Structure 1
């Protein structure tokens, strides 16, 4: 989604954009931010299931990851591949589903539906975006890309002579139910994919991770990916990845040299929410070291 932010006088870390002017207005209920870390044991926060750059549409493109236990492909349609910023809508969907399921288990609400029905303004509020006209247009384009992007997982099954494959959409459909008098998006209906719904609802211990809400303020796609990687791998401790591994798993088309320069800039800024970044020399090249800020 696009971003037109009202700047203020408060100093802001280089990696984060300022929060919008309406950030503290309690117009809508906003649950804690959650994400789905795995699908069938495959770490989907370890790879980019979207493009990181807003500039390259990657229409009809495929990003392919060869993992030890599976081959994962991200496939896009004519609207272009969904971006890591478009995925904010999926995070909202997961977060509301996780909250509704928690209340249901506590006897305080019904079993949540697979139909998620937010208002366009609620989406912008949750994703910490201003309520400008450009943002509503960007929201509609984001829904187009999300509906046309899916994940194909071909799992290596060592017990059998074949591989199990599955196709998993980021959203299973979206409908504009109403518009405002000015033509902006009003009410939406987004169908939650089975793999996300089952991960939250069908498990006794839901497969979700909490995420810092300042994640939405992270400017660069690579910085967002590094935060996701940190939240999944480091947790409350430490994790390390070879630069080349991060390069391979973020789906970038940038040459390794340029990618390394950008990654080193993130390490120098060292201002991501919750996690400190450092570079160390590894046996086969530079390492990104991620530590949780105690």
Structure 2
């Protein structure tokens, strides 16, 4: 099976998806090894028409740093929750940024699409390996392909591999007063390797292994624990605006939701509350967030952020 995978990776044509390359090679040499390999395929489908997906379980905390300037190598961010806590731990290459996380969104999106195709009988059960071209990553994340983008992608993969998410949840036992402590720790990606390079030495194609927590949410869940994200998400330049959009998508959905400024600040990894409030109020005034209208409301414990889907506003159809 591994030899066939290597053959497909080596002989795939530029812009060709895994399914297209597999189908083409099947036509030239149909054998038992090909049939067995199709039972559990790497996942990659055409970049066109794929909706953006995100893991709904972690859309209300920042699993990444929000700053482009500070690497935060070796640092730990802790978010205290009602039933436990989450820690984001950075490796020696630095903590993954919210912009690095775009690659994880692409991974989740393509895994979800591959699983949907499998359920409709139009593809093989996806494995955990994601094999995109760097050009496909840049296209999906709506980035230009000039300059040193290839090197930027490799550095992002290093940070994603080195950033681990540790969740500790305290769950009451069913038949006793005892509390069960559930601890899980995984990286944002399990690993990666470079499959091919261009004649100029730039990375051409990579293999990314999805962590088990993402794979299980999409493949093993009866209802995949993912939410669709606006295609305009990648056009949001501000890190806080991106975080607020993810929070609105998770908390609001198709209805009104309310979060305290202080609570959002504590979940956003931003270091200065005064600066956070200034940026958040500027975002409210601009009213430019995709899908959601934001406004401020006074609350007993401080200012509140109200998030309302634009489709529910007066005059919207």
Structure 1 and Structure 2 fold alike (TM over 0.5): yes
Gaps of 5+ in 2: 1-45, 312-317
Q: 1:264 and 1:183, CA in 2 relative to 1: closer, same or farther beyond 3 A?
A: same
Deviation at 1:30, TM superposition (A): 4.5
Structure with bigger RCO (C-alpha 8 Å, 6+ apart): 1
Gaps of 5+ in 1: 1-26, 39-43
Structure richer in helix, relative to its length? 2
Matched residues, number: 262
The reply on whether 1:99 has 2:116 as its aligned counterpart is no
Q: Decide whether the 8 Å contact of 2:170 with 2:179 is kept in 1.
A: no
Q: What is the match of residue 189 of structure 2? A: 171
Q: What is the match of residue 205 of structure 1? A: 223
The reply on whether 1:218 has 2:236 as its aligned counterpart is yes
The reply on whether 1:89 has 2:108 as its aligned counterpart is no
Deviation at 1:257, TM superposition (A): 1.1
Q: Distance in 1 between matches of 2:104 and 2:164?
A: 13
Deviation at 1:161, TM superposition (A): 4.1
1:73 pairs with one of 84, 87, 95: 87
- What SS does the corresponding residue of 1:288 show, helix, strand or coil? strand
Q: Deviations over 1:15-39 (max 9, x none)?
A: xxxxxxxxxxxx843511101111x
Q: Decide whether the 8 Å contact of 2:297 with 2:304 is kept in 1.
A: yes
CA RMSD of aligned residues (A): 1.1
TM-score (normalised: structure 2): 0.81
TM-score (normalised: structure 1): 0.87
The reply on whether 1:239 has 2:266 as its aligned counterpart is no
- What SS does the corresponding residue of 2:247 show, helix, strand or coil? helix
- What SS does the corresponding residue of 2:87 show, helix, strand or coil? strand
Q: Decide whether the 8 Å contact of 2:186 with 2:211 is kept in 1.
A: yes
Deviation at 1:244, TM superposition (A): 0.4
What are the within-5 Å matches in structure 2 for residues 141-152 of structure 1?
A: 141-152=155-166
Q: Decide whether the 8 Å contact of 2:261 with 2:277 is kept in 1.
A: yes
Q: 1:239 and 1:188, CA in 2 relative to 1: closer, same or farther beyond 3 A?
A: same
What are the within-5 Å matches in structure 2 for residues 1-294 of structure 1?
A: 28-38=47-57, 44-159=58-173, 160-253=178-271, 255-294=272-311
